[in-house]
Structure 1
Amino acid sequence: MSRIVTVVFDRHREYELVAHDEIPREEANRWLDAQWEELECEPTHPMGKVLVLDRILGIAQYAGEPRFAHPTDWTRQYANAVAAVIDRPAVRVDVAERKVG
């Protein structure tokens, strides 16, 4: 079953990704952790604690809109990881509003 991950940078710039591959949640978390480190994302909470939703948003923000505008293997992996962790048929990652729903 495929799932839809929509990444939004503002009202007029959103990108729909299809997550075709179901991966285990643990593997998805490892991939998100690795991307967080590779992109050198910064925690948004003053305590420094990074929640899974913060990772999903931070990775999208630090990866940048061009990466989502021109899908690659990386964007497919992002969609698969987000879909596995959130476990819903459709996920909206709103970078501008800092919301995942």
Structure 2
Amino acid sequence: MQQLVIVSFGKDNQYDFKVNGAAAAVDDARKWFDHEFTALECDVATPTGKILAVDRILSVAKYAGEGRFRDRGTWAEQFARYTAAILGRDLIRVDVEHYSIGY
């Protein structure tokens, strides 16, 4: 199965990542996002105090910055692979500018 993860920082700043083959384990993906969320010192204000998986994905993308995605390095590939694993959709759009995820 092939999945497409699009990370957008605005209309003209969009980065597409094709995730091929076997998906990463969801537990591994959650651990990676937990680690990155802490390492990047992300801050999310939620009314319930609970941070959902989509909040972690969006915050990690935001705090990591567009440069990591523009370079298309290992980190960006891991982000896409683990996002695909957690959300389990064929097409995922991570819209950092509007802080939303679409399918």
Classify the TM-score, shorter chain: over 0.9
SS class of match (2:9): strand
Matched-pair identity in %: 37
Name structure 1 gaps, 5 residues minimum: none
Matched with 1:53 is 54
TM-score by length of 1: 0.93
Q: Is the 8 A contact 1:44 1:54 kept in 2?
A: no
Matched with 2:15 is 15
Instruction: Figure out how many residues of one structure are paired with residues of the other and give that number.
Output: 101
SS class of match (1:49): coil
Matched with 1:92 is 93
Measure the CA separation in 1 of the matches of 2:42 and 2:59: 6
User: Alignment RMSD, CA only?
Assistant: 1.2
Provide runs of 4+ in structure 1 moved above 3 Å: none
Q: How does 1:66-85 map to 2 (within 5 A)?
A: 66-85=67-86
Q: Is the 8 A contact 1:3 1:90 kept in 2?
A: yes
**CA shift at 1:11, angstroms?**
1.1
TM-score by length of 2: 0.91
Matched with 1:33 is 34
Measure the CA separation in 1 of the matches of 2:85 and 2:61: 16
